[in-house]
Amino acid sequence: MSLPPTGTPAVERPPRAAAGPSRTRVPKARLFTWPLLIGLAVTTGLVVLSLFVGVYDIFGAQDGAEMFTITRVPRTIALVLAGAAMAMSGLVMQQLTQNRFVEPTTTGTTEWAGLGLLLITVLVPGAPLLVKMCAAVVAAFAGTMIFFLFLRRVTLRSSIIVPVVGMMLGAVVGAVSSYIALSTNMLQSMGVWFLGSFTSVLRGQYEPLWAVAIIVVAVFVAADRFTVAGLGQDIATNVGLNYNRIVLLGTGLIAGATGIVTVVVGNLPFLGLIVPNIVSLFRGDDLRSNLPWVCLTGIATVTVCDIIGRVVVMPFEVPVALILAIFGSVVFISLLLRQRRHA
């Protein structure tokens, strides 16, 4: 050791700046920066484009304006809400599990929501949409808690194993759903429900989706808490937060968003995975300043995929879930490879 003993006067003095007046501050981070405004403009452009893409000639036909408000507007609002909610669910989930590969479709959350929806349809035929949604949300919450508790019990060596376990769990739950659907003659309608598609989003049917707007706002409010939770239970407790309460809150918000979106739209695979990861790559993991980006990117991604789905086989449509799955799996695999290179 090359230091004077502690008893003698310290030779090394702290840099003057440490004790002196504060140095010129880093400018306070503003919410609306130029890049964000450009992102906002691009996303708005896509949303407007979505309003005018489709087989029906809304300008030429007699009832064009009416069709516009019955189908195009609801469809576009649904894109915005579902895109933002699912991307944010993925982000919150990744923080809570400290794992970049989880999101509602890689942890079984959507399958649980589907099971809840199926069970309520079988048990209470003709249940109103609100009841169906509640069943899906409750099931999604229970399923996600099971997954989180499992993660806590079992220390998994590799972060890649976590989504594998989640997808296996989801497959089991999905198999149970299929069995129930098969024995109640609902297999076909189940297939249609779960395959995420905005085709059937019409005025009078999509309105419950507005509830996810509340969830989006709640995530914004609790953003800092989720970031702290992402630093781990010890650090969260150290700064005086109740970690378990944050996990419960987060799970509730994720389950709410996933349940509602599953009932109204269906599965949107990988959306919660690709969006937060792309944003994190460029902007890091500070939740509060990232949320607008995650929202916009989620909306833009799902809108682009939906527009592609509407255009490629015109006058027919490809469900958005298929496009997302193709796009998402490519991103997912490249993330896995990137992780391996870094490890």
Query: Applying CB under 8 A, which residues contact other proteins?
Result: 1-6, 10, 12, 14-15, 17-18, 22-23, 25-26, 28, 98-99, 159, 223-225, 227-228, 230-235, 237-242, 280, 284-286, 288
Shortest CB 28 distance to other proteins, Å: 8
The amino acid occupying position 168 is M
Neighbouring C-beta atoms of residue 24, cutoff 10 Å: 5
DSSP state of 195: B
Between 184 and 237, CB nearer to other proteins = 237
Can you tell me the distance from the alpha carbon of 95 to that of 93, in angstroms, rounded to the nearest whole number? 5
Alpha helix positions (H), the chain: 16-19, 34-52, 64-67, 73-97, 109-123, 129-153, 161-183, 187-194, 211-221, 223-230, 233-238, 243-264, 271-283, 287-311, 320-342
Q: What is the dihedral of CA 27, 30, 32, 33, to 10 degrees?
A: 30
Between 75 and 225, CB nearer to other proteins = 225
Per DSSP, the residues of 110-157 read HHHHHHHHHHHHHHSTT--HHHHHHHHHHHHHHHHHHHHHHHHHS--S
SS3 state at 31 = coil
Which residue, among 285, 280, 279, 316, has the nearest Cα to 301 in the 3D structure? 279
Is residue 87 within 8 A of residue 301, CB to CB? The reply is yes
Is residue 306 within 8 A of residue 198, CB to CB? The reply is yes
Which residue, among 121, 276, 296, 275, has the nearest Cα to 194 in the 3D structure? 121
Can you tell me the distance from the alpha carbon of 104 to that of 260, in angstroms, rounded to the nearest whole number? 12
Can you tell me the distance from the alpha carbon of 276 to that of 157, in angstroms, rounded to the nearest whole number? 23
Between 286 and 317, CB nearer to other proteins = 286
Shortest CB 298 distance to other proteins, Å: 18
Between 162 and 268, CB nearer to other proteins = 162
By CB atoms closer than 10 A (0-12, 13-18, 19+), residue 40 is: middle
